Structure 1
Amino acid sequence: MTTTLDDRLAIQDLLYRYARAADDKDTAAYRACFSSNGVAVNWADFEVNDGATIIDSLSQYQWTMHKVFNHAFEVEGDRARGYTYCLATHVADEQGQRRKEDWHVRYDDELLRENGQWRFLRREVQVGLIEKVDLPD
């Protein structure tokens, strides 16, 4: 199992596109990160065809920033398995008080190369810690 530089860069691009779609609250871009039968699990146990569920859940925040790092994947043909760490910052206004939440996330991923592009076949989300801080006005 050898992962080429081209595969590494293409997979990294997928991870960044996913984070950007979440931050932009862009349902179409979010869905485009998944294969036609791809699923995300342990978030709300939904299928990606209902990807609006995740994007809608982000609408409660004034803004988000998903910072993706520490990822590793093994490629075998047109499939890959690996993990990705993410620190997702969310800012919300709760009854006039701004609050920041930092979510420490690990994604366990199965990828499929379709038409030359890597997409998520299965994305399992594990939130390890959520830190909440009230922000000054």
Structure 2
Amino acid sequence: MSDVTAADAAALADLVARYALYADERDTARLTGLFTPDGVLVLPDPPRALGPVLTRTGHEEIAAAMTALESLTMTFHALAGQVVDPGPEPGTATGAVACVAHHLSERADGPSDLVWHLRYADTYRRLDGAWRIARREVRIDWIETRPVRRVRGREGEP
């Protein structure tokens, strides 16, 4: 087992933050580039299944899964914390990430926020000198729905 240096931990924190940013920006190309070419994303199927049940492998399948975000008005992934441990082989690490993911959509009675309180179970691998996500499993702990008072970009607001 190898050590995770402070530089590795910083790079892995940046990797996780970029995933959240690129998801919110709908930048599928950059988001999928955060995964190894054979990377795996295992998603829940809410509300039926809150645990990881839908497996997507490789950049093409992961990109296709991310198109679900396009139906939403906006998303906001708020990272609440990350813990990183050395992996079983040199150049690997594992991580646990807590996140609150907001999903805004339009309803007949106005905008609504579907909030997922979730955790990512990650496996990272160094590839060509850069850390990438080799596997990410998404587990939703609970879901709530909130009314939204106002959304930037609506009603002529910049």
TM-score for the superposition, normalised by structure 2 = 0.80
Deviates more, 1:55-64 or 1:41-50: 41-50
Structure 1 runs not aligned, ≥5 long: none
Return the alpha-carbon distance in structure 2 between the equivalents of residues 42 and 23 of structure 1.
17
Structure 2 matches for 1:46-125, cutoff 5 A? 46-49=56-59, 50-76=61-87, 77-95=90-108, 97-125=110-138
The Cα offsets for residues 28-83 of structure 1, whole Å up to 9 and x where unpaired, read as 01111100100011333222421223321111211111011221111242000121
Work out whether residues 105 and 126 of structure 1, in 8 Å CA contact, stay in contact via their aligned partners in 2: yes
Return the alpha-carbon distance in structure 1 between the equivalents of residues 78 and 25 of structure 2.
13
Runs of at least 4 residues of structure 1 off by over 6 A? none
Q: Report the count of equivalent residues.
A: 137
Instruction: Return the index of the structure with the highest Cα Rg.
Output: 2
One-letter amino acid of the counterpart of residue 78, structure 1: G
One-letter amino acid of the counterpart of residue 56, structure 2: F
Deviates more, 1:89-98 or 1:117-126: 89-98
Over the residues paired in the alignment, what is the CA RMSD in angstroms?
1.5
Work out whether residues 85 and 95 of structure 2, in 8 Å CA contact, stay in contact via their aligned partners in 1: yes
C-alpha deviation, 1:136, in angstroms: 3.9
Work out whether residues 4 and 93 of structure 2, in 8 Å CA contact, stay in contact via their aligned partners in 1: no
